[in-house]
Amino acid sequence: MNAVPRERIAGTPHPAVHEEAVVIGGGIVGVCCALYLQRDGYAVTLIDPEAPGNSTAKWSCGQMAVSEVIPLSKPGILMKVPGWLIDQKGPLALRPQALPRILPWFLRFVASARHAKIVDIAQSMASLTHDVYADYAPLLQMCEDKTLLGQLPVLELFDSPTAIERDKAHLDLRQSLGFSYQRLNAKDIADLEPALAGRFSHGLLFPDWRFVSDTEGFIAALTASFVANGGTRVRSSAARIDEASGLATGVTLTSGQQIAAKHVVVAAGTGSRKFFGQLGVSVPLEGVAGYQVLVPNPQVEIRHSIIYADGGFCFTPMTRGLQIGGTIEFAGRDAQPNFKRAEIILEKAQRILPGLRTDQIEFGVGYRPFLPDTKPVIDRSHRLQNVFMAFGHGQLGLTLGATTGRLIGDMVAGRTTKQNLAPFSAYRFA
């Protein structure tokens, strides 16, 4: 039997450790689930084949997008599909070869474009995002670096006021749910971002959004805190969930090693699909490719995380450089990344930041685990009652990591959850 590398840092275990729990998936959602279980006294093992921080959320703009509760599907979305097929350089593209397999997913996606459905989804998502900062607070308090989450808001900039007016109904819906925004003029934008002075005259400021100092470092720091406080991280893949008499008994790794557990959490993003048969669920989970460019030495000072709406991308200053991304692609399962899309992002960024130094760059791609109604699954398996599910967060994995962890912790402990989790059932697609 092959040895499995375990990562442990000396630390004081929780004094009330009582039962073993295994979390499959060490990305932001998985590590937050592990941390909340650890806070309740469980002896937790976290399983992931990658190094801490090397996950989907690493290749994101790092925003706590608390009011991003409107689903991707909007009225008229079906009419845009031909354009996505034709224009492979647009901010959202669909590879023609992926269409046959993804068509059933798209039909469900389009069904979420009705106004009443959009309002229902936004209300459900807002019930989660209102608690984002409160849920992250105890986890970040345990980390040595107290600057992991910045305090500056996020900006959205436009070439003209047309797009703002076009989205006014959804901005008003966000506002009705308790999320504010402010209109920005040319002077406001220049004051906030001198590097963009004279370039933009129309924008929005989201005062309740924040962004992290480094997407990779943020997840790695939370993982280090988990291990320092007695958690075990196993760098391997889970092959299957072990079961007996209708309950999970642990997890078997690809090496053949078995890890016993009284509770199992599946939080592996798109990798969660391999367990659906055992969980007894049929969930239309697809991975949507999101491309990013990291510029380690940009030579341009950007202070805020900025969404360039008309360009279809965003850029965020991080400790490891300026991260630029946001373009997404429906490529189909097992498709190879098309980094030409990352090059397109970089070209667009250079147009608005002509002084951007690009002699050293790194391309990356993260496969966002999307469900057609853009709501995650936060639920318990009916088939294996001691297995819990936390996946499908789409572009809000970083935003909802801690809130999902808190909810999973409550479910495992048998506590009543603060939020109604019916909208996030794994069985809503049956």
Hey, where are the domains in the chain?
A: 6-57+217-283+374-424, 154-204
How far apart are alpha carbons 2 and 23 in whole angstroms?
21
How far apart are alpha carbons 54 and 124 in whole angstroms?
30
> How many other β-carbons are positioned within 10 Å of the β-carbon of residue 51?
14
Contact 112, 121 (CB under 8 A): yes
pLDDT value of position 13: 40
Please say whether the structural domain 6-57+217-283+374-424 has been given the CATH code 3.50.50.60. yes
Q: Assign residue 34 a region: left if phi > 0, alpha if psi is -120 to 50, beta otherwise?
A: alpha
**Residue 396: DSSP 8-state:** G
Residue 252 burial (CB < 10 Å; 0-12/13-18/19+)? middle
pLDDT value of position 77: 61
Contacts with 60 (C-beta within 8 Å, 6 or more apart), sequence order: 215, 290, 292, 325, 366, 395, 397, 398
Q: Which helix (H) or strand (E) holds 350?
A: helix 340-352
Contact 55, 28 (CB under 8 A): yes
Q: Which amino acid is at 365?
A: V
**End-to-end alpha carbon distance in the chain:** 40
- 200-214 burial, b if ≥16 CB within 10 A, otherwise e? bbbbbbbebbbbbbb
Q: Assign residue 363 a region: left if phi > 0, alpha if psi is -120 to 50, beta otherwise?
A: beta
**Which of 353, 349, 66, 69 has its CA nearest to residue 211?**
66
Both structure tokens of 256: 């053949």
Helices (H), 16-167: 28-39, 77-86, 99-111, 115-129, 132-141, 162-166
**Which of 341, 367, 333, 391 has its CA nearest to residue 101?**
333
Low-confidence ranges of the chain (pLDDT < 50): 1-15
How far apart are alpha carbons 93 and 312 in whole angstroms?
12
Contacts with 419 (C-beta within 8 Å, 6 or more apart), sequence order: 127, 128, 131, 407
Q: Which value, in Å, is the radius of gyration of the alpha carbons in the chain? A: 21
Contact 233, 48 (CB under 8 A): yes
Residue 79 burial (CB < 10 Å; 0-12/13-18/19+)? exposed
pLDDT value of position 15: 41
**Which of 52, 110, 39 has its CA nearest to residue 77?**
110
Contact 388, 380 (CB under 8 A): yes
Contact 295, 358 (CB under 8 A): yes
How far apart are alpha carbons 121 and 126 in whole angstroms?
9
Hunting for tokens 């988990």 — which residue is that? 226
Q: Which amino acid is at 346?
A: L
**Which of 210, 235, 376, 265 has its CA nearest to residue 36?**
265
* Beta-strand pair 258-260/247-253: antiparallel
Q: Angle, to 10 degrees, between the axis of helix 99-111 and the axis of helix 77-86? A: 150
Bridge partners, residue 139, by sequence: none
How far apart are alpha carbons 393 and 28 in whole angstroms?
11
pLDDT value of position 335: 82
